[in-house]
Structure 1
Amino acid sequence: MTGTSLLSAADIRRLAQQLNIRPTKRWGQNFVIDPNTIRRIVDLAGLSGTEHVLEVGPGLGSLTLGLLDRAEKVTAVEIDPALAAELPVTAARMRPQRASRLTVVCDDALRADPEELGDPSVVVANLPYNVAVPVVLHLLEVLPSLSTGLVMVQEEVADRLAAAPGSKIYGVPSVKIAWDTQARKVGVVGKKVFWPEPRISSGLVRLDRGAPVSSELSRREVFSVVEAAFAQRRKTLRAALSGLIGSGDRAEQVLRAAGVDPQARGETLDIHAFARIAEARRYAE
């Protein structure tokens, strides 16, 4: 099969059998077996043909082939050595004219050398459920070249990433991603398009990068406040931040200086408010 054909369910199972591979929970492997889902993901990514796309967890190559059809270059990061070794073979067989555009990095996306990944402008990935949030936040931190993305994650994770202040599911991931990125849930993917079939549906999240909330503060300074505020979600900010800032009275002074009600809870604040708290904390030291 060559040209623009994509891997079918039968192709995926045949490849896995040839490689003696069974999807493992350890690496969160759920392979997409539906070509139409691949086309949908690539369409939603909005590729124009000039992008360098980063794919995390390509597995047997379902999405990789779709990306090669629409991108100038694809860098795929795969933690499983057997899958990483086979991916170029699949690309050469099914996309002989475009296989040279593919670079495969056999590594953990959370530990891979950013220089080895190059300067991708877009991330498009079916992310392993167990590491989806850490991977997204890590890539945004270490790859300033990223400007947009389309990631498929567990649906409840998608909802958290896109949640707004005041929502019951608004939390640390929601705030941290808003540091320099707008996350929008743009679709739902059913369970039956995967092998093995997961227990819950997946969500598609569009990522659009902008300027950081603050040019004066570091990500670490602001995120330390965010983590402290949500560590004890039911506590007021005055109480929750006392361990980070000092006594309750000192925490109250910093919060008031930031224009934040000391009796409020972290779930009501947006990233801008957390940045103001971090700034007030810096000047109070």
Structure 2
Amino acid sequence: MNAHRHAAEGTESAPRLLGPAEIRDLAGLLDVTPTKKLGQNFVHDGNTVRRIVQVAGVQRGETVLEIGPGLGSLTLGLLEAGASVIAVEIDRRLAEQLPHTVRLMQPGTSLTVVADDALRVTELPGEPVRLVANLPYNVSVPVLLHLLEHFPSLTSGIVMVQAEVGHRLAAEPGSKVYGGPSVKAAWYGTWRTAGQVSRMVFWPVPNVDSVLVGFERGDEPGTEEERRATFALVDAAFQQRRKMLRQALSGVLGGSAASAAQALERAGIDPQARGEQLRVEDFLAIARASQPSLA
């Protein structure tokens, strides 16, 4: 098989991970040109792959969810560590090829491929406990929030995202980069940055820096109804982040700054504060104060 010629030449058995030559061969075989629309940047450095798997704390025998496996670089690293992998891939050419690549390079390992859009998946053939993924940069935050909402079995993870997005996810209140994604992510648990990733380990080389972001799931502070109400407030607050909350939230808290101020005071929040100063628990308190049915 021409796509894997480099994998087998000069060795008694094929290497367990993909290098630059294998990546180029596979892309050529499949006539794949990485697209910005799908946020495709393929990792071709085995050391980086193994580092991600190590930082993620992957344990032998556990089930790991991977989003956007692409040509299989990270997939092979997860399988090498002894994990069972459920991989969700939107590009059907890549989804169909991945099992063949795994059988050649790491036979006997456990891979399940779901050919679908990660933003639409609400059921999986198993209960993954860990998320490890090089997320498509253009939809990384929506994908993360969707997965955390629909798959409570996910208790921890490491994702590679655009540096700007990663720092925002892990930001604390008061930070210049603290925003809507920071608050929404905090609903599900604690977040941290876990190291930078060089642009040069990707093909094609992206024009942005990347970071690893880790999370540990915690107890959600409220019900699903409360989450929806809280996230609506978060969206309103950060759409006009320069405005005081009594103004930014007036559209969703009674239609006027005066009614918004009253709801904020009932929640124990200063009406002159701004969204970037509030924790997720503060937004939840506002939701409960403004909707008696939630309290």
| Bin for the TM-score computed over the shorter chain | over 0.9
Q: Return the match for 2:141 from 125, 133, 139.
A: 133
* Residue 277 (structure 1) aligned to one of 256, 266, 286: 286
| Pairs within 5 Å for 1:88-103 | 88-98=99-109, 101-103=110-112
The Cα of 1:228 is off from its aligned counterpart by 1.1
1:19 matched to 2:30: yes
How many angstroms apart in 1 are the aligned matches of 2:212 and 2:293?
Answer: 42
Partner of residue 33 from structure 1, selected from 39, 44, 50: 44
- 1:267 maps onto 2:276 in alignment: yes
Amino acid paired to 2:32:
I
Asked if 2 retains the 8 angstrom alpha-carbon contact of 1:183 and 1:205, the reply is yes
**Secondary structure of residue in 2 paired with 1:205:** strand
Please tell me the root mean square deviation across aligned C-alpha atoms, in Å: 1.5
- Number of matched pairs: 282
Of the candidates 62, 68, 73, which is equivalent to residue 62 of structure 1? 73
1:204 & 1:255 partners in 2: Cα distance? 36
- Match of residue 226, structure 2, among 215, 218, 223: 218
TM-score (norm. length: structure 1): 0.95
Question: How far is the alpha carbon of 1:117 from its aligned partner?
Answer: 4.5
Give a deviation string over 1:100-124, Cα, whole Å, max 9, x none: x100011110012x22343111110
Greater mean deviation of Cα atoms: 189-198 or 1-10: 1-10
Native 8 Å contact 2:197 2:212 kept in 1: yes
Structure 2: gaps spanning 5 or more residues: 1-7
Cα distance in 1 for partners of 2:114, 2:226 equals 30
Residue matched to 1:144: 152
Q: Which runs of 5+ in 1 are unaligned?
A: none
Q: After TM superposition, which residue ranges in structure 1, 4 or more long, deviate above 4 angstroms?
A: 1-4
Cα deviation digits, residues 236-282 of structure 1 (max 9, x gap): 00011111011222111111111110000001111111111111011
**Which residue of the other structure, out of 118, 131, 150, is the alignment partner of 1:123?**
131
**Structure 2: how far apart are the matches of 1:111 and 1:118?**
17
2:85 to 43, 50, 74: 74
CA deviations over 1:29-50 (Å, ceiling 9, x no partner): 1000110000000000101213
TM-score (norm 2): 0.92
The answer to whether the Cα contact below 8 Å between 2:70 and 2:94 also exists between their aligned partners in 1 is yes
Equivalents in 1 of 2:273, 2:97: separation in Å? 53
Aligned partner letter, 2:61? T
Please show how residues 128-277 of structure 1 align to structure 2 within 5 Å: 128-215=136-223, 218-246=226-254, 247-277=256-286
